[in-house]
Amino acid sequence: MWPLVRQARYLGRYREIAQVLVGHGFGALVHQLGLRSLLSLPRRMILHVPPPTPLGTAARLREALVALGPTFVKLGQALSTRPDLLPAEFVHELEKLQDTVPPFPHEIAVALIEASLGHSVGELFAEFSCEPLAAASLGQVYAAKLYSGEQVVIKVQRPDIAGRINTDLAILADLAALAQERLPFGQQYNLVELVWEFSATLRAELDYRREGRNADRFRLLFADNPAVHIPRVYWEYSEGRVLTSERLYGAKVNDPAALARAGIDAPKLAHNCLQLILAEIFSFGFFHSDPHPGNFFAMSGEVLGVIDFGQVGNLDRETTRALLLLLASIIDHDTPAALRALERLGLISRRDASPQLRRDLERFTENFIDRPLREISARETVTDLLTLLRRHQIRIPGPLAMLLKALVMMEGMGKQIDPNLDVFSIARPYVHRAVAEGLAPLELGGQALRGARTLSEVAVELPQQASDLLQRLNDGELHIQTEERELRRLAGAVVGAANRLAVALVLAALILAIGMVAIAVGVGGWTGTLPTLLLGLGGSGAALASLVLLVALFRGRE
């Protein structure tokens, strides 16, 4: 249903979005979404507006997103990480989107710093450069010096950017709902959920305190790693829209000439780049999800300096194990194991494992037969896998998509520094250690305990669920339609389940009875006090009754 309230509230922005789309040759899309009325133009003028340039559809989409502003640029960057959703042509084009815009006046930045921190810039900083070091869609960065002597950078959010982004996100939610209702692509994928994930990520990026906490967490995790340097956050000079942190000095990792001038050992630096993402994935389950070269510095001693922690991802242990299983299945050319890994990652269910999917996975794993690991590229592997998933309309979760994209970007950055970088040889120790930790007795015991806890919860809930099911059947709320053959099979399954439950209960009673006898014998033997004697006799009787019931149950199954 068309959101009339929001349409009235954001009418000007709706009209602007529709006009930009039409101007870039997407008039048919505007018409399909029902936005034509916002333009007050005849249908023929929307559907027959020629594209403004001879560019292809993907390039025109990129230009339209740039024209629509920061929210849509961020959306394009997020979509560039989703080759499971978009064809390769669109992904490659959206990867060109740069998060750079003209700077806003420094007077506005100074006023915002002073309003946020409660003091004048002169009171806060011994030196403050009015020329920004960088300007992006959400904010810009200035250099400064504290009175205690530390060189710092100050990240200042753009004025009113939060309001504009929240308006665009509300409109995007409406458009996603319309597309999901009216377009084939929208019906194929859950666009509403995708926009919700994107909105949550972008809103979190607007809170600089969260970015500072992420930096502190990375700094703690890599405290014992001399090859990685995470800048310190100065919380007394930071707030929700202002973040002050240690300034890093070094060469850009994608500048070979600067690396050579600084005497940086390129292979060692590339090795450190890849080790960073592998440690984040397999050791910490917490990773930098925007590892483009602008966020990394090559410092003295091949130390990797990392900045900008607005976009991060989290991995639980189950996801890490599933990724290990998937990696091992690819190396071993094991299609069944690859299917199990995809299932554990939550990408498919068992009923999704069609013969076509199995055949495609076999072709995928065959690509790695007889190939040295040093010749296998993470980009090639991830791209082929995501293309396969897209062919079968399998959508991957947002955090996993970010992880795969981050891994590809880090590999690309490492190979740009050292073309001979062997990804799998660097990954092998992490994989072996993670597998060994997963097979450790303590870890296996923990898994067994968690499984037993889950099973006990199911056992407790099963009688109530069965009672609810029978009540719904009795009330006519639930109907079962089946053929006689299926009914017999269903009846057999129900009887079998009932027998198994009965056996389990009788076994539990038998164990309890044996325990009672053991307690009685341990306390005073059969010549003890009357309560002890009664306990022993009661336990013996219960044990005998349990054995008789077990014999009867097993005879009934014959």
- Nearest one of 77, 430, 432, 80 to 280, comparing CA atoms: 430
Query: Per residue in 372-424, pLDDT tens?
Result: 656 677 777 787 887 888 788 777 777 787 788 788 878 788 888 888 877 77
pLDDT reported for residue 180: 85
Q: Which of 346-350, 382-386, 464-468 has the lowest mean pLDDT?
A: 464-468
554 vs 269: which has the higher pLDDT: 269
Q: What is the pLDDT at residue 503?
A: 56
Q: Is 489 part of any domain? A: no
Q: What angle do CA 155, 161, 164 make, to 5 degrees?
A: 165
Cα separations (Å) of 80 from 18, 74, 76, 89?
Answer: 22, 10, 6, 10
pLDDT for 114: 95
Q: What is the pLDDT of residue 109?
A: 94
Find out whether 218 and 306 touch, Cβ atoms under 8 Å: yes
Question: Which structure tokens are listed for 343?
Answer: 């299932």
Q: Do residue 91 and residue 38 come from a single domain?
A: yes
Q: What is the DSSP string of 90-152?
A: HHHHHTT-----PPPPHHHHHHHHHHHHSS-HHHH-SEE-SS-SEE-SSEEEEEEE-TTS-EE
Handedness of CA 42, 43, 44, 49 (dihedral sign): positive
* C-alpha closest to that of 80 among 98, 53, 68: 98
Confirm whether 408 is domain-assigned.
Answer: yes
The pLDDT confidence band at residue 320, using thresholds 50, 70 and 90, is confident
CB-based contacts of 297: which residues, under 8 Å, 6+ apart? 248, 249, 250, 251, 252, 253, 304, 305, 306, 307
User: Which amino acid is present at 449?
Assistant: L
- Interhelix angle 423-438/266-278, rounded to 10 degrees, is 30
Shared-domain flag, residues 416 and 556: no
485 domain residue, yes or no: no
Asked if the model's pLDDT at residue 162 lies above 80, the reply is yes
What does residue 370 show for φ and ψ, rounded to 5 degrees? 65, 20
The reported pLDDT for the residue numbered 1 is 44
The reported pLDDT for the residue numbered 40 is 63
Please report the DSSP string for 190-206 in residue order: THHHHHHHHHHHHHHHT
Q: 86 and 178: one domain? A: yes
Average confidence (pLDDT) over 358-367: 81
Q: How many CB atoms lie within 10 A of CB 338?
A: 23
Q: Above 80 in pLDDT, residue 77?
A: yes
Whose tokens are 């000007």? That residue is: 12
Same domain, 322 and 447: no
pLDDT value at 434 more than 80: no
Q: Give the mean pLDDT of 66-72.
A: 91
Q: Which of 213-217, 252-256, 288-292 has the highest mean pLDDT?
A: 213-217
Distance between CA 505 and CA 298 in Å, rounded? 65
Of 371, 404, 437, the one marking the end of a domain is 437
pLDDT winner (highest mean) among 227-241, 328-342, 439-453:
227-241
Mean of pLDDT over the chain: 78
Provide the pLDDT confidence category of residue 533 given band limits of 50, 70 and 90.
low
Contacts of 246 (CB under 8 A, 6+ apart): 150, 151, 152, 153, 231, 232, 233, 234
Q: Are residues 404 and 428 in the same domain?
A: yes
pLDDT in tens, 495-507: 565 565 555 565 5
Lowest-confidence pick of 19-28, 168-177, 184-193, 511-520: 511-520
Confidence of residue 111 (pLDDT cuts 50, 70, 90): very high
φ, ψ for residue 475 (rounded to 5)?
-85, -5
Mean pLDDT of 465-488: 62
- Domain extent for 53: 4-98+164-202
Q: Are residues 169 and 138 in the same domain?
A: no
Confidence of residue 442 (pLDDT cuts 50, 70, 90): very low
Residue 341 near residue 396 (C-beta atoms within 8 A): no
The answer on 415 and 459 residing in a single domain is no
Pairing of strands 139-145, 151-157: antiparallel
Average pLDDT over residues 259-284: 88
**Higher-confidence residue: 269 or 413?**
269
CB atoms within 10 A of CB 48: 10
* CA–CA distances in Å: residue 6 to residues 22, 38, 173, 474: 21, 13, 11, 46
Selection from 125-139, 288-302, 406-420, 450-464 with the highest mean pLDDT: 125-139
Where does the pLDDT of residue 444 fall: very low under 50, low under 70, confident under 90, or very high at 90 and above?
A: very low
Nearest of 112, 138, 5, 14 to residue 68 by alpha carbon: 14
Query: Are 174 and 257 part of one and the same domain?
Result: no
Model pLDDT for residues 451-463, shown as the tens digit of each residue: 445 555 555 566 6
Compute φ and ψ for 185, nearest 5 degrees: -60, -40
What is the model's pLDDT at position 219? 96
Provide the pLDDT for residue 545: 61
Q: What is the sign, positive or negative, of the torsion defined by CA atoms of 75, 76, 79, 80?
A: negative
392 in the same domain as 299: yes
Looking at the predicted structure, is the pLDDT value of residue 537 above 70? Answer: no
Which range among 128-142, 277-291, 328-342 shows the weakest confidence by mean pLDDT? 328-342
- Tokens representing 238 are 């930071």
Q: Does residue 141 register a pLDDT over 70?
A: yes
- Overall average pLDDT of the 481-485 stretch: 53
Distances (CA, A) of 219 to 225, 231, 235, 286, 305: 10, 7, 14, 12, 11
Choose between 179 and 443: higher pLDDT.
Answer: 179
Active site residues: 290
The count of residues in the chain is 558
Reported as a pLDDT band with limits 50, 70 and 90, residue 168 is: very high
One domain for residues 266 and 294: yes
Query: Measuring CA to CA, which residue among 461, 544, 546, 450 is closest to residue 505?
Result: 546
> Averaged over 207-215, what is the pLDDT?
95
Number of Cβ within a 10 Å radius of residue 313: 21
Report the alpha-carbon distance of residue 364 to residue 355 in Å, rounded.
14
Q: Which of 49-53, 145-149, 288-292 has the highest mean pLDDT?
A: 145-149
Q: Do 280 and 388 belong together in one domain?
A: yes
For residue 132, name the pLDDT band (cuts at 50, 70, 90): very high
How far apart, in whole angstroms, are the C-alpha atoms of residue 204 and residue 535?
A: 63
**Residue 277 falls inside a structural domain:** yes
Q: Please provide the distance, in angstroms rounded to a whole number, between the alpha carbons at the two ends of the chain.
A: 60
| More reliable by pLDDT, 212 or 435 | 212
Q: How far apart (Å, rounded) are the C-alpha atoms in residues 351 and 54? A: 45
pLDDT computed for residue 166 by the predictor: 92
- Looking at the structure, do residues 104 and 70 belong to the same domain, yes or no? no
Decide: residue 102, CB within 10 A, 0-12 exposed, 13-18 middle, 19+ buried.
Answer: exposed
The highest-confidence range among 34-48, 287-301, 504-518, by mean pLDDT, is: 287-301
User: Which pLDDT belongs to residue 541?
Assistant: 62
The conformation of residue 530, written as its DSSP 8-state character, comes to: H
For Cα atoms 80, 84, 85, give the angle at the middle one, nearest 5 degrees: 70
> Which range among 52-56, 196-200, 403-407, 471-475 has the greatest average pLDDT?
196-200
Query: How far, in Å, CA of 288 to CA of 557, rounded?
Result: 58
Looking at residue 170, its pLDDT comes to 92
pLDDT bucket at 440, cuts 50 / 70 / 90: very low
Q: Which of 530, 511, 533, 504 is nearest to 521 (CA)?
A: 533
Q: What is the count of structural domains for the chain?
A: 5
